[in-house]
Amino acid sequence: MLRCEAPVFRPRTLDEAFAMRAAMPDATVLAGGTDVMVYLEGGVLKPTRIIDLWGCPGMRELRFTTGGQVYGAGLTCTDVLRAMHSHPLLRDAAATVGATQIQNRATLGGNICNSSPAGDTLPVWLALRAEFELGCVRGFRRVPASGFWRGYKKIDMQPDELLVAIRVPALAGHMHFRKVGTRMAQSISKVVFAGRYSVGKEACLAFGAVGPTPMRCTAAEAALVSGASINEVVSLVEQEVLPIDDIRSTALYRRKVAGRIVRRWLDNLPRA
Amino acid sequence: MIVRFNCNGRSVQVDTPPMARLLDVLREDLRLVGSKEGCGEGECGACTVRVDGEPVMSCLVPVAQIEGCRVQTIEGLGNPIVHAVQTAMLATGGAQCGICTPGICMSAAALLDVDPHPTPDAVRVALAGNLCRCTGYQKVIDAVCGALAEREA
């Protein structure tokens, strides 16, 4: 039986949500609850009050602009899987989050702001050069995914800000998502990868669960673009990742698997 | 706070802390003890119920988010007529100790609503969030695959 007497505030508009956040910077922000409820049950989170964004209008839409897609932060993984035109790389990630019951509640914004280094969708945002749209009573600003996760569970977000949407530009290239966990569903990643590669032009090799934040292997990316061999790229990936030993895996295993994921992907790409 | 929702076709209202788990409200306030608590952290699926038709882990849903929603538990699934998946679970021996069974039936019923004749792979995906330590899953999968076939035969 969960004992949490914290009051819950449920904004009915985005502006009301910003006003609440400005008035209550100490509040815990709740969306689908799939992380917050676990923290409450485990006693690691003792909120004084809660702002509940579940059902807040305007946050659960997928919109299309001339430059790409805009995902509402309140979209669930199931929403992504059901939407006709959601990005294939994001669909692959959404399908690996928990299982159906979790996907029905877990939100994109929750995954991003919870900022677990193992968050399954996080490397996707890096690979897609996404921008996070943060809003507050003072206005809006955009932060590139590449600069959002500053350290272990540290994010570039002010106490009065809320994540409203994720902007994804239209990009071409080969793409690949791979999650390695103990089991196909309901497992937390040992290693998670999202990659994008336009031959000879641009590469993004993004990993989760191999460092304190989701991260890119920039030296390996540069080598790949400049035509280095797969062996060289893989070797750089293995050097660049920063894994640790923990309850889910070992640093050595993660380092090897990170390289292996990239090797298998590149091995199977059509030669340019 | 007072939370009003529809539970198994009946309007209910409960006076509860807003962050109370839906699971506890169902079991303690409404005395619907068919939904089980296994892990209490969204891993095992024993507490699966449907909210507006979608299966969710009721241990991870604060009741404040249920205001105005339609909740179905195993008690509602089997009433007034036992659901085909429940009959099939009995017929195949898909239930043993029974702790996971209500959750499995709720996830399976949600699948069968959109896919009346699922492949074994589709069942495995739909039930990936429902852990069972007794059956080895095969009889459960047989039950769900054949649940509606039986009825039509």
CATH number at B67 reads 3.10.20.30
Res A148: pLDDT:
98
pLDDT in tens, B118-128: 999 999 999 99
Query: In sequence order, what are the residues at sequence separation of 6 or more whose Cβ sits closer than 8 angstroms to the Cβ of residue A82?
Result: none
Kindly report the length of chain A. Answer: 272
Q: How many angstroms separate the CA atoms of B127 and B122, rounded?
A: 9
Q: Please say if the pLDDT value at position A3 is more than 90.
A: no
CATH number at A45 reads 3.30.43
Do B94 and B65 lie in a common domain?
no
A19 falls within a domain: yes
Residues of A in contact with B40 (CB under 8 A): 41
Residue B90 Cα, gap to closest chain A Cα (Å): 24
Do A241 and A216 lie in a common domain?
yes
Do B73 and B89 lie in a common domain?
no
Interchain contact, B42 vs A102, CB within 8 Å = yes
A131 falls within a domain: yes
- B63 touching A, CB under 8 A? no
Pick the last residue of a domain from B62, B77, B92.
B77
Interface probe for A, chosen from B60, B73, B114 (most Cβ of A below 10 Å), is B60
Do A180 and A160 lie in a common domain?
no
Pick the last residue of a domain from B58, B77, B96.
B77
Q: Please say if the pLDDT value at position A241 is more than 70.
A: yes
Do A179 and A142 lie in a common domain?
no
Task: From A219, A188, A206, A194, select the one nearest A118 (Cα to Cα).
Answer: A188
CATH number at A82 reads 3.30.465.10
The SS3 of residue B63 is helix
Task: From B78, B87, B70, B146, select the one nearest B112 (Cα to Cα).
Answer: B146
pLDDT in tens, A249-265: 999 999 999 999 999 99
Do A163 and A178 lie in a common domain?
no
Res A270: pLDDT:
82
Task: Give percent of chain A with pLDDT exceeding 70.
Answer: 99
Pick the last residue of a domain from A128, A144, A169.
A169
Domain count, chain A: 3
Low-confidence ranges of chain B (pLDDT < 70): 150-153
Task: From B79, B65, B84, select the one nearest B152 (Cα to Cα).
Answer: B84
Domain count, chain B: 2
Q: Which residues form the domain of A114? A: 62-169
Interchain contact, B129 vs A101, CB within 8 Å = yes
Q: Which residues form the domain of B122? A: 84-152
Interchain contact, B64 vs A10, CB within 8 Å = yes
Res A183: pLDDT:
84
Pick the last residue of a domain from B35, B53, B77.
B77
State how far the alpha carbon of B40 is from the alpha carbons of A13, A42, A75, B22, B23, in Å. Answer: 32, 9, 24, 12, 9
Residue A252 Cα, gap to closest chain B Cα (Å): 27
